[in-house]
A and B are shown apart, each in its own frame.
Chain A
Amino acid sequence: MDKNFINFHILISHSPSCLNRDDMNMQKSATFGGKRRVRISSQSLKRTMRKSPYFDKMLGQNSTRTRELNNLFSLLSKKMGEHIPKELIEKAISFLADKRDVTIDESRADAVAPWCYQEVEWFCNQLQTNENIMKLCEEFISITGNSDNDKKKKRSLIKSVYNILEKNEQLQGLYLALENNIDIALHGRMAASGLMKPLDGALAVAHVITTHTVDADIDWFTAVDDLQELGSGHLDTQEFSSGVFYRYASLNISQLQENLGNAPRKKALEIASHVLHLMATVVPSAKQQSFAAHNLADLAMVSFSDIPVSLANAFEEPIKPGPGFIKPSVKALHEYWQAVHHGYGLNERCAEFAIGHEPPEGITGKKTLENLKTWVQADGEV
């Protein structure tokens, strides 16, 4: 068995900004090493990655995360309405989401779920080609009540559909439909309803924290009203700060292969190289119209490892400036990596791309982010 985990360690410096806020409009924060740090939640970073144009271009289809079934119905009708009748799409969504009328404005599923349109398309095909499934589906939709008995009936109908699919060796098709949806393979899906397959995400993303303590500033601002001669139309405050952030994520290669229907390792490594690109380049969009902290990573380190281990402890003692925060942060990360690598006998394959820094012994230096991506694709062997 080869190394199962790819660990991504990123240092990224943001100019003044407020990339992730709490209910008090203050920056999310953390205590680490007994000192306050600014934090960006993993949820925020993951969504930024998923929604980036790069993801769209290189990793393809994003899932649509929604519970707004009416909007989902319109979207899917546009996508596949040319070759599949709309009534079928409507029936498929109804069955999969367990909601009767998906065409009305306020039709909502019980929970936000990632929808993959190939899955719905596949189910439409089943409805078209198998009368029994169609009958069961219609029976399912016709149940209007919500009593225990109704629920029991619905469960047994779902089971019957399962059985038919299994008998005709069609069940695999449902899972095959998911294979093109890298988004769901990476980030996972909870069991949403009977036929939808739950998946454990292959990528674990940590909360992002600054390598140093942060005394945030409060910006007092006014919004000028052009049609008002004096004064302002609005005044408020906004917390912000700058800082060097440590991002960490680990990718479970075999889990990703499994989620993609036992894809070859090569495929998983290609996806990993794109995850690296996203980790090193995307920035949450919050308040970016006012701050424009569109920064790229100063350092991206990648390791192939037997166990996912974060290097956050390099910054447990907060970095002190001198000069700036990036230089001492990189130094601390390098020293800590060497100590951990040696101390625990980690035996990782490790390489990095860093702007203006030489890697320590044991880490292969790469001149560009592209070079590092190529190295990831080659299983870290070149």
Chain B
Amino acid sequence: MRDFLILKLHGPMQAWGEHTFEGLRPSANFPTRSGLLGLLGACIGIKRNDREQLQQLADSVGMAVRVDERRMSRRDGKSRTLRVVKMTDYHTVKDAREDYTGLKKHDTIQTWREYLYDAEFTVALWNQPDAALSFDELEAAIKRPLFTPYLGRRSCPLARPLFEARLKSSDVLEALKGIAPHGGTIYSEEKIGDRMKRVRNVPLIHQPRQFAGRNLYIHGGEHVSE
């Protein structure tokens, strides 16, 4: 039996940044490893430039994300399924960097930022062997965060507390089985099936804005490859 910490990410808007310069700012369809580490780091109160602690956090946790299938119950007793919608927000920025035109661009540029609406994710965390950061510390931080936690962007607040459960289970699939809503696609760093997706969002802490790749194993649901 292993220890799992279960988090819920729920709010009207979320945005989990993909690779880009500042012109187009796409969101991944579910939280990235870098985004989740940032969220946990904020709860613990790790400063942006404290690379040692950031590395310690990164080395301490493994994670799986479930894209929840949401049923919305209505006041009249009926319920309906909500689909995640991705919409683009138009925004102007002075002096941002733009795709493919070099590092600096000195005009006002237009940016298009993607947001996920009506999304909800369940995250399962487990401790890596020799984790320096204990689950007790992590749980306490998630319940009483030091910095402001948010769902990928500062303007995307939580609509419920992050903490869902702390439980013991034989594996990540079992752990998530007990957490409503049931169903949904699970993306796990630990092998849980034969389907696999390659993503590149593992932050290289000592090389800011650089990312390594990782394999995500897919279970259940209706994964649509991009």
A residues neighboring B (CB under 8 Å):
1, 4-5, 22-23, 28-34, 41-43, 67, 108-112, 198, 200-202, 204-207, 209, 248, 250, 252, 254-255, 306-313, 316-317, 340, 344, 346
Residues of the A chain whose Cβ atoms lie less than 8 Å from the Cβ of B146? 4, 254
Bound Cα distance from A143 to B157, whole angstroms: 45
Interchain CB contact under 8 A, B72 and A310: no
Distance in angstroms from B148 CB to nearest chain A CB is 5
Say yes or no for B171: interface residue by CB 8 A criterion: no
Known: A32-B118, A34-B83, A42-B155. 9 other contacts (CB 8 A): A31-B117, A41-B89, A109-B95, A110-B106, A198-B48, A204-B155, A205-B154, A255-B147, A309-B160
Interchain CB contact under 8 A, A252 and B118: no
Residues of the B chain whose Cβ atoms lie less than 8 Å from the Cβ of A205? 154-155
Among residues of A, the one whose C-beta sits closest to the C-beta of B150 is A204
Say yes or no for B161: interface residue by CB 8 A criterion: yes
Distance in angstroms from B133 CB to nearest chain A CB is 20
Distance in angstroms from B84 CB to nearest chain A CB is 9
Say yes or no for B132: interface residue by CB 8 A criterion: no
Interchain CB contact under 8 A, A22 and B158: no
Interchain CB contact under 8 A, B154 and A33: no
Interface residue tally for chain B (C-beta within 8 Å): 42
Say yes or no for B13: interface residue by CB 8 A criterion: yes
Interchain CB contact under 8 A, B157 and A108: no
Say yes or no for B82: interface residue by CB 8 A criterion: yes
Contact among B83, B95, B144 for A307, CB-based, below 8 A: B144
Interchain CB contact under 8 A, B159 and A41: no
Residues of the A chain whose Cβ atoms lie less than 8 Å from the Cβ of B11? 310, 312
Say yes or no for B100: interface residue by CB 8 A criterion: no
Residues of the B chain whose Cβ atoms lie less than 8 Å from the Cβ of A4? 144-146
Interchain CB contact under 8 A, B13 and A207: yes
Interchain CB contact under 8 A, A310 and B159: yes
Among residues of A, the one whose C-beta sits closest to the C-beta of B86 is A31
Bound Cα distance from A175 to B118, whole angstroms: 41
Give B133-159 interface residues, CB cut-off 8 Å to A: 143-150, 154-159
Say yes or no for B87: interface residue by CB 8 A criterion: yes
Interchain CB contact under 8 A, B160 and A340: yes
Bound Cα distance from A267 to B81, whole angstroms: 47
Distance in angstroms from B94 CB to nearest chain A CB is 5
Q: Do A206 and B155 form a contact, CB below 8 Å, given A31-B85, A31-B118?
A: yes
Interchain CB contact under 8 A, B157 and A112: no
Interchain CB contact under 8 A, B162 and A33: no
Interchain CB contact under 8 A, B144 and A209: no
Interchain CB contact under 8 A, A110 and B95: yes
Distance in angstroms from B198 CB to nearest chain A CB is 30
Bound Cα distance from A206 to B160, whole angstroms: 14
Among residues of A, the one whose C-beta sits closest to the C-beta of B12 is A312
Say yes or no for B104: interface residue by CB 8 A criterion: yes
Among residues of A, the one whose C-beta sits closest to the C-beta of B104 is A110
Among residues of B, the one whose C-beta sits closest to the C-beta of A187 is B154
Interchain CB contact under 8 A, A252 and B148: yes
Residues of the B chain whose Cβ atoms lie less than 8 Å from the Cβ of A309? 157-161
Say yes or no for B91: interface residue by CB 8 A criterion: yes
Residues of the B chain whose Cβ atoms lie less than 8 Å from the Cβ of A111? 94-96
Bound Cα distance from A317 to B160, whole angstroms: 16
Bound Cα distance from A82 to B2, whole angstroms: 69
Residues of the A chain whose Cβ atoms lie less than 8 Å from the Cβ of B149? 307-308
Bound Cα distance from A29 to B115, whole angstroms: 12
Distance in angstroms from A374 CB to nearest chain B CB is 25
Interchain CB contact under 8 A, A250 and B118: no
Interchain CB contact under 8 A, A207 and B158: no
Residues of the B chain whose Cβ atoms lie less than 8 Å from the Cβ of A108? 95, 106
Bound Cα distance from A255 to B143, whole angstroms: 17
